[in-house]
C-alpha cells in the first residue's frame, strides 16, 4: 500500500469502504420509503427515526423486542440464498411482540459485515422492507457496520429491534388462562430461525449427495412465517386468553411461559402431522422425540389459548385466512413437575 493511496482513501486502506455505504443507501431508499406511513416524521438519513403515536390509542403501552437470525445466516450464505433472511429477522421480533397483544409500529435493523457487499446487503434489506409492509409496521431506520478484522471473509450478522403498542386494558396476560382452555396451533413454515447450529451440523454430516443437500437446504431456508396481520385480525373479533411464539426451546419450553404456574398443558401429538423436514432432521440427526419438541417448533409456529366453546369458530376463521391450524391440546391442573405433557 503506497503512501499516496493511503492519503487519498485512508479508511479504505483499513478495509472500510465509505463509498459502498453511500451506494447501499441509494439502493435501499425506495424500499424503505415504501414502509412509511403518516406516523413517520422526517426522511431516511437522519441521526434518528421519529414516529408519532396516533390517536387510536387511549392508554398506550409501548412494547419492545429485539432478536437476530442466528446461524441461519451462515446456511443462507453457504447456499447463496439470502432472499428470505430479512423476513426471518423481522418475524423473530414482531412475532414476539404480538404475543402480548401489541400492534407492531416500527422496526430497525443492524447489519454488520467484514466487507460491505452492496448487492447482498440490499437484497437483505429489501426482504426486511417487504416483511415490514406485510407486518403493518414501518422500517424507521437502521445501521450498517463494516468491521474488517472482527468478522472474517464475507461473513455478516443481523439483529433487529421492534416497537409496538397495546391498550393497557387489552394486554394479554398468562393469568387469563383457565383450566379447560384449549390450544390452537398455527402452522410454521419450517424451523423458522431456531436450532440452526444443530441443523447445519446434521446437514454437514449427512451422507446425502450435494444435490440432495441443496434441495433440503431450500426447505430449511424457508422464511419465518409472519403472524401479526393474522393475530391482529383475531384480536379484533375474538377473546384470546394468551399466546405463545414457538422459538428456541420449542413447544416444551415456550408454552409454560404463557400459562399460570399452577396449570399444565397436555399436547396431543397426533393432532397434527409433523412436516417432512422435521422428520428428516429427527431421523438424520438421531434426535429423540422429547428433544425434537424441546429444540424445534415441529410445525407449530404460534399457539393461541382460547375457551373451548370458542375454539372451532376461531380455528375456522384462521383457516379462512389461509393458515393451517390444529387443536393441539388442553390446559389442565398441574399434577406433576412437568408443565407440558405429550400424549
* DSSP codes, 12-40: HHTT--HHHHHHHHHHHHHHHHTT--TTE
String of b and e for 88-122 (b: at least 16 CB within 10 Å)? bbbbbbbbbbbbbbbbbbbbbbbbbbbbbebebbb
String of b and e for 68-86 (b: at least 16 CB within 10 Å)? bbbbbbbbbbebeebebbb
Query: CATH number of the domain at 3-170, out of 3.20.20.10, 3.30.1330.10, 3.40.50.10680, 3.30.450.90?
Result: 3.30.1330.10
pLDDT digits (tens, 9 = 90+) for 199-211: 999 999 999 999 9
pLDDT digits (tens, 9 = 90+) for 53-110: 888 889 999 999 999 999 999 999 999 999 999 999 999 999 999 999 999 999 999 9
Tell me, what's the pLDDT at 142?
A: 86
Tell me, what's the pLDDT at 115?
A: 81
Tell me, what's the pLDDT at 28?
A: 63
Residue 40 has φ and ψ, to the nearest 5°, of: -85, 125
Which residues 6+ apart lie within 8 Å of 54 measured at CB? 39
Give ranges for CATH 3.90.650.10 in the chain. 174-342
**Three-state SS at 204:** helix
In this prediction, the residues of the chain whose per-residue pLDDT falls under 50 are 1-6, 11, 13-14
Which parts of 123-217 are beta strand (E)? Answer: 138-146, 156-167, 182-187
Give ranges for CATH 3.30.1330.10 in the chain. 3-170
List the grid coordinates of 184: 390452537
Tell me, what's the pLDDT at 44?
A: 64
**Three-state SS at 101:** coil
Contact 88, 157 (CB under 8 A): no
In CATH, the architecture of 174-342 is Alpha-Beta Complex (3.90)
Amino acid at each position: 500500500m503506497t503512501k499516496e493511496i493511503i492519503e487519498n482513501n485512508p479508511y479504505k486502506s483499513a478495509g472500510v469502504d465509505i463509498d459502498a455505504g453511500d451506494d447501499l443507501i441509494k439502493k435501499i431508499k425506495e424500499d424503505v420509503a415504501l414502509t412509511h406511513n403518516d406516523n413517520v416524521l422526517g426522511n431516511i438519513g437522519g441521526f434518528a427515526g421519529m414516529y408519532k403515536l396516533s390517536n387510536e390509542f387511549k392508554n398506550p403501552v409501548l412494547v419492545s423486542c429485539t432478536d437476530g437470525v442466528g446461524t441461519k445466516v451462515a446456511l443462507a450464505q453457504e447456499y447463496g440464498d439470502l432472499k428470505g433472511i430479512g423476513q426471518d429477522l423481522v418475524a423473530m421480533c414482531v412475532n414476539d411482540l404480538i404475543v402480548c397483544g401489541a400492534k407492531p409500529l416500527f422496526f430497525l435493523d443492524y447489519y454488520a459485515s467484514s466487507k460491505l457487499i452492496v448487492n447482498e446487503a440490499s437484497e437483505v434489506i429489501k426482504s426486511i422492507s417487504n416483511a415490514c409492509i406485510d407486518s403493518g409496521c414501518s422500517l424507521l431506520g437502521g445501521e450498517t457496520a463494516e468491521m474488517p478484522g472482527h468478522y472474517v471473509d464475507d461473513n455478516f450478522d443481523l439483529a433487529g429491534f421492534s416497537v409496538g403498542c397495546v391498550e393497557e386494558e387489552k394486554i394479554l396476560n398468562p393469568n387469563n388462562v383457565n383450566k379447560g382452555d384449549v390450544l390452537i396451533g398455527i402452522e410454521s413454515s419450517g424451523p423458522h430461525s431456531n436450532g440452526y447450529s444443530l441443523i447445519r451440523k446434521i446437514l454437514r454430516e449427512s451422507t446425502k449427495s450435494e444435490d440432495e443437500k441443496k434441495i433440503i437446504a431450500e426447505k430449511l431456508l424457508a422464511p419465518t412465517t409472519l403472524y401479526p396481520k393474522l393475530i391482529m385480525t383475531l384480536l379484533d373479533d375474538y377473546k384470546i386468553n394468551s399466546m405463545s411464539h414457538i422459538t428456541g426451546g420449542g413447544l416444551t419450553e415456550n408454552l409454560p411461559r404463557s400459562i399460570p404456574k399452577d396449570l399444565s398443558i397436555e399436547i396431543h401429538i397426533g393432532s397434527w402431522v409433523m412436516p417432512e423436514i422435521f422428520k428428516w432432521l429427527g431421523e438424520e440427526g438421531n434426535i429423540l422425540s422429547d428433544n425434537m419438541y424441546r429444540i424445534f417448533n415441529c410445525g407449530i409456529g404460534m399457539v393461541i389459548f382460547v375457551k373451548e366453546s370458542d375454539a372451532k369458530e376461531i380455528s375456522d376463521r384462521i383457516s379462512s385466512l389461509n393458515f393451517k391450524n390444529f387443536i393441539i391440546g388442553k390446559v389442565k391442573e398441574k399434577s406433576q413437575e412437568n408443565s407440558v405433557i405429550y400424549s
